[in-house]
Structure 1
Amino acid sequence: MRIQQLAYLEKIVEKGSINEASKELFLSQPSLSNAVKDLEAEMGIQILRRHQSGVSLTTEGREFMIYARQILDQVNLLEGKYKAGAPRKQAFSVSAQHYAFVVHAFVELIREVDAAEYQFTLRETETLNILADLTAFKSELGILYLNKFNRQVMEKLFKDSDLEFHPLFTASPHVFVSRDNPLIKQSSVSLEDLADYPYLSYEQGDGDSFYFSEEILSTLHRKRQIKVSDRATIFNLMVGLRGYTISSGIISSELNDDKIVAIPLNVDDPIQLGWLKHRQLELSPLGERYLALLKNHIQGYGFAIEK
């Protein structure tokens, strides 16, 4: 086994395609494919699953990549200390449901990075994509919520995917509305108060199950429903159509303007926010630092961090 083979494999996994990886590595596709096949033959396992849309890691391949990345990181440390040339880029990625506090902590982390080059990725994405990103090691951390409705289904998925969930904090349900919405005159709102307003929620793609919804009470009938894919659009629709969505109640004043207000919702359905990681993966220093920033930000809004 050669270090170069591991570097080739890492690039293929990053791109999800031997063809795309070969372009960045300036190698022919057959040469790169043969390098991986030689590695698989030497290790006695199938590392990559090949399909029409590209490649993905097998179960054994995911475990192999954990050790391969540790080796590559150690090589990078050696080269950075003893070999002239540019060090390996600092890299970190997180996949999450659509929460402003996730973005805020991500911004703070990047501001702290003292490096000429880095590669950071924040994926605000569908719930099932978070699990897929973690199992494929595209992201180091995932952030989502559990409640009494989805907990049993989600915890089974975590177990099946070899993921572990760590609680961050528990929040009471709130609705987000624009400042010109008549509901802001109330100290709290009921579901009946919301009946005539457009309900805004995040779409979940092919996995559009009630259990994967980012909003609690997803099974309730609404007269007017609008699905969106990003936070900017959902905020625009709150302002333009006086729509509402249901969330934890945390709004980042540094990242959003003052047009959105959080109002307590009169339902007994606590929302537990938490972070996910693969059981076989040890958090990197950047991952640990991101979690610390995330917790500090959450505590700044008056929430206690759960053990």
Structure 2
Amino acid sequence: MRLEQLIYLEKIIEKGSINEAAKELFLTQPSLSNAVKDLESEMGIQILLRNARGVSLTPEGREFLAYSRQILDQVNLLEEKFKHTQPRKQAFSVSAQHYAFVVHAFVELIRSVDSKEYDFTLRETETENIFSDLASFRSELGVLYLNSFNRQVMTKLFNEKNLVFTPLFDAKPHVFVSRDNPLTKKKKLKLEDLEEYPYLSYEQGENNSFYFSEEILSTWDRKMNIKVSDRATIFNLMVGLNGYTISSGIISSELNDDKIVAIPLDHEDTMTLGWLKQKQRELSPAARLYLDMLKNHIQQYGFKIYE
């Protein structure tokens, strides 16, 4: 395996086409295609799927590229230090349940990038998709919560999928409602206070397991239930229908959450929010920086970060 082959592969994925990559690399299309075929033969896997529209990665190819990028990152660090070359294009992706602090740290990360070239992805998604994104190396990090109800099942899944969970902070459950909701007159809410209001929760696709729910007390019977797929919609329904949801208590006014307030819920449960990664994967510099920003942002809300 040669370093050039890894560089060629990354350029092909960036362009989505062997032909376009060959033009940028000043190579002929056959020579570039043969370089990838030689790499596939040496590794004993199929890395690319080739079709009339271009190329895409196989599942094994996606995993291979994740490791390849780690090698290229290290080579680039050496060249930056000793050859004073330009930093390579940064790549980072995170898949998470729907939390404002995840988005806020992502915004800060992009603002901190001293380059006009980067390839970052944020997926606010269903819980099951976080697992599949990490397993397929589509995302480097995942963010979700554990509590007394889902911890045993989730921990079993982490082990099965070769994932490592690192806790960030503990949070008591809060009820999110519109500023105009009559519930805001109370400093603390009980479950019975919520009975006459629509309950808003995030849908979990085909896997409707209560253990995958993003909200605690998912098994509690409610008269009015509305499922949504994104945070913008859930906030709109809080305002338009006086609906509510239950989450960590962190609301970011900088991300247009100023119409929503968080009221403590009188319940014994505690949410432990944390991040996931593949056990064998080393974090990229961008991922480490993102985690630092995530922790700093959470601390600004008065939460104690796990050491």
Change (3 A) 1:6 1:107: same
- In 1: Cα distance, 2:208 partner to 2:33 partner: 36
State the match for 1:258 in structure 2.
258
Judge conservation of contact 1:47–1:64 (CA < 8 Å) in 2. no
* 1:24 Cα deviation from its structure 2 partner: 5.0
State the match for 1:57 in structure 2.
59
Q: Which amino acid aligns with 2:129?
A: N
State the match for 1:209 in structure 2.
209
Change (3 A) 1:284 1:153: same
How many residues are treated as equivalent by the alignment?
300
- In 2: Cα distance, 1:191 partner to 1:284 partner: 43
Output one character per residue of 1:232-256: Cα deviation in whole Å (capped at 9) or x when no partner: 1100000000000010011112212
* 1:14 Cα deviation from its structure 2 partner: 7.1
Please provide the CA RMSD for this pair: 2.9
TM-score by length of 1: 0.86
State the match for 1:169 in structure 2.
169
State the match for 1:126 in structure 2.
126
Q: Which amino acid aligns with 2:42?
A: E
Is 2:21 the counterpart of 1:25?
yes
Secondary structure in 1 matching 2:277: strand
* 1:193 Cα deviation from its structure 2 partner: 1.2
Judge conservation of contact 1:13–1:56 (CA < 8 Å) in 2. no
Output one character per residue of 1:52-91: Cα deviation in whole Å (capped at 9) or x when no partner: 9965323xx5664454223322444466678899652122
- In 1: Cα distance, 2:135 partner to 2:141 partner: 11
Change (3 A) 1:21 1:211: farther
Output one character per residue of 1:90-143: Cα deviation in whole Å (capped at 9) or x when no partner: 222211111111111111222222113222221111111112222222222111
State the match for 2:187 in structure 1.
187
Q: Which amino acid aligns with 1:72?
A: L
State the match for 1:280 in structure 2.
280
Q: Name stretches of at least 5 consecutive residues in structure 2 with no aligned partner.
A: none
Change (3 A) 1:257 1:46: closer
- In 2: Cα distance, 1:205 partner to 1:31 partner: 44
Judge conservation of contact 1:177–1:242 (CA < 8 Å) in 2. yes
Is 2:192 the counterpart of 1:196?
no
* 1:50 Cα deviation from its structure 2 partner: 6.3
- In 2: Cα distance, 1:196 partner to 1:29 partner: 65
* 1:275 Cα deviation from its structure 2 partner: 0.7
Moved more, 126-135 or 23-32: 23-32
Percent identity over the alignment is 70
Change (3 A) 1:5 1:145: same
Moved more, 172-181 or 292-301: 292-301
Q: Which amino acid aligns with 1:46?
A: I
- In 2: Cα distance, 1:160 partner to 1:13 partner: 29
State the match for 1:93 in structure 2.
93
Judge conservation of contact 2:62–2:138 (CA < 8 Å) in 1. no
- In 1: Cα distance, 2:213 partner to 2:50 partner: 29
- In 1: Cα distance, 2:19 partner to 2:225 partner: 44
Change (3 A) 1:128 1:36: farther
Change (3 A) 1:56 1:128: farther
State the match for 1:46 in structure 2.
45
Secondary structure in 1 matching 2:304: coil
Q: Which amino acid aligns with 1:163?
A: L
Judge conservation of contact 1:14–1:138 (CA < 8 Å) in 2. no
Moved more, 120-129 or 31-40: 31-40
Secondary structure in 2 matching 1:205: coil
- In 2: Cα distance, 1:50 partner to 1:152 partner: 38
- Equivalent positions of 1:141-152 (< 5 A) are 141-152=141-152
TM-score by length of 2: 0.86
Output one character per residue of 1:241-287: Cα deviation in whole Å (capped at 9) or x when no partner: 00000100111122124211111112221111001111112122222
* 1:9 Cα deviation from its structure 2 partner: 3.9
- In 1: Cα distance, 2:164 partner to 2:39 partner: 30
- Equivalent positions of 1:11-22 (< 5 A) are 20-22=16-18
Q: Which amino acid aligns with 1:121?
A: T
* 1:201 Cα deviation from its structure 2 partner: 0.7
* 1:200 Cα deviation from its structure 2 partner: 0.6
Q: Name stretches of at least 5 consecutive residues in structure 1 with no aligned partner.
A: none
